[in-house]
Amino acid sequence: MAKRVVQVAVVGGGPGGYTAAIRCAQLGKKTLLIEKEFLGGTCLNIGCIPSKALISAAGLVHKLKGAELIGISAAPVQVDLPRLQEWKNSIVSKLTGGIGQLCRGNGVEIILGAARFRDPHTLLVETPEGREEVAAETVILATGSVSATISGFPCDEKHILSSTGALALNRLPARMIVLGGGYIGLELGMAYARLGTQVVIVEMMKQLLPGADLEASRLLTQQARKLGMEVYLDSKADQLEFSGSEVKLFIETAGERRPFQADAVLVAVGRRPNTEGLDLNQAGVQLLPSGFVRVNTDTLQTTAAHVYAIGDVIGNPMLAHKASREAEVAANIINGKPAAMNYRCIPAVVFSDPEIASVGLTLEEARQAGYDPDVAKFPMTACGRAMTLREPDGFVKITFDKARGKILGVVTVGAEASELIAEAALAIEKDLTVADIAHTVHAHPTLAETLMEAAKLAIGEPIHLLPRRRI
């Protein structure tokens, strides 16, 4: 049996894993990256990157269909889904190839295979060429997550789809039922609605995006219905039947049970940690009751001091950029450098229509944390740039401490919210106040002005809104 001896072995080659491997190698450690399936992990190959390609294409279709409103006539818009898939796959291929080059360029060795612990410091890796044994001083677990399933709804990726199957369709479904109104269900459901599919979305909770800002959720519900989507809240699917090439699904809402027919059902009810087959008990690594790996959130060490864990496998928020930052922190700690996670500064983005992005505390969370908070909100309808983009729906909302104006949290809803949130995250990271943002000159006309305008409102110096009454 082939045997390797390394200082750091990283299990999982997604955004967390490859970042950890690169950083450890940069700091002088002999590092091995073990990936079971493909470099880049779920995010790059079957998650955030391909989904954003689909969403981008769907947004273009939507804009073209509405171009006559601004005096532009276009021929009937047609979608060639196989060609769209080729374009999407070409992006993924370029990025995965780039990750391999970055790893090797930084001195990271790579093994493609499935790893499991034999003992605390030994991994057995099943590769296409056979089994390899890896002895490592330190191990970083970055195995990510997989799609959660619903009993009675087996994903065959033809009629019953996971997010992976929904991103690989070569034929546009005429009708689709989406089970789950979280970010995955909304992003993909809205994308297919924009491409021309009739979409029904079913959510068990009383709002779309459970746990998100309620005002943002309500706006998103309105927009979904404007797209022609049927939205059923506080509802559940309780029976599935197949009829030829169609699926028949029964949905129960407020005690009323109704049948729905569709070409495809997308199961988007969340994700669960990917720990199967790792034999973590052999290394002394414990799981939480939820199934996530137990870690010290300050050091990212598991219950085995020499084993670290990062990313989706340790729990929410399940975000690629959170995993990447944890990777850098873990690598620095392993190498004796001071580092710590600041989870309050991790932005979250939903690439819906419109986009929703947030960072920091909500008003209620701020109160629970002992602050005396206030909120200032600026609507996108008062932003000239948003109007010229034909995307006037949304707002920027700043939660701040009344005592000294410290920015505690920001929610942005609207065009390019995913880009606008970076400034807000920096403001919270650097402990800035609303006055700091209000007195920073922002270019005009831009969407970024909306954060400045909300901050001006917070300090009582609004220019493009009337003064407000404090809450």
Please report which confidence band the pLDDT of residue 468 belongs to, taking 50, 70 and 90 as the band edges. Answer: low
With a cut of 50, say whether residue 353 has pLDDT above it. Answer: yes
pLDDT over 90, % of the chain: 83
The answer for residues whose C-beta is within 8 angstroms of residue 300's C-beta and 6 or more apart is 308, 309, 310, 314, 326, 329, 330, 333, 341
| Percent of the chain residues topping a pLDDT of 70 | 99
Q: Give the type of residue at 54.
A: L
What is the mean predicted confidence (pLDDT) over 74-89?
90
pLDDT, tens only, 168-220: 999 999 999 999 999 999 999 999 999 999 999 999 999 999 989 999 999 99
Cβ burial of 258 (10 Å; 0-12, 13-18, 19+) is: exposed
Q: For residues 165 and 333, what is the distance between their CA atoms, to the nearest angstrom?
A: 38
Average pLDDT value for residue range 304-312: 97
Tell me what the pLDDT averaged over the chain comes to. 93
d(CA 138, CA 142): 13
Q: Per-residue b/e over 264-290, b at no fewer than 16 CB within 10 Å?
A: bbbbbbbbbbbbeebbbebbebebeee
- Entry pTM: 0.93
Q: Which domains does the chain have, with CATH numbers?
A: 2-147+272-343 (3.50.50.60), 160-269 (3.50.50.60), 354-458 (3.30.390.30)
Which CA distances in Å does 59 have to 78, 196, 251? 13, 11, 29
What's the pLDDT band for 65 if we cut at 50, 70, 90?
confident
Average pLDDT, integer, range 405-421: 97
Residue 327, token pair as written in the block? 């990777």
Token representation of residue 36: 């079971």
Residue 238 has pLDDT above 90, yes or no: no
Catalytic residue among 306, 442, 444, 464: 444
When pLDDT is cut at 50, 70 and 90, the band that residue 77 belongs to is confident
- Residue 151's pLDDT band (cuts 50, 70, 90): confident
Strands 395-401 and 407-414: antiparallel
Crossing angle for the helix pair 15-26 and 320-334, to the nearest 10 degrees: 30
Residue 239 has pLDDT above 90, yes or no: no
Are 250 and 258 in contact by the 8 Å Cβ rule? The answer is: yes
- Tell me if 407 sits within 8 A of 428, measured CB to CB: yes
Q: How far apart are CA 35 and CA 115, in angstroms?
A: 8
In the three-class reduction of DSSP (H, G, I as helix; E, B as strand; rest coil), residue 389 is classed as coil
Better-scored residue on pLDDT, 455 or 72:
455
444 flagged as catalytic = yes
Residue 471 has pLDDT above 60, yes or no: no
Residue 308 is which amino acid? Y
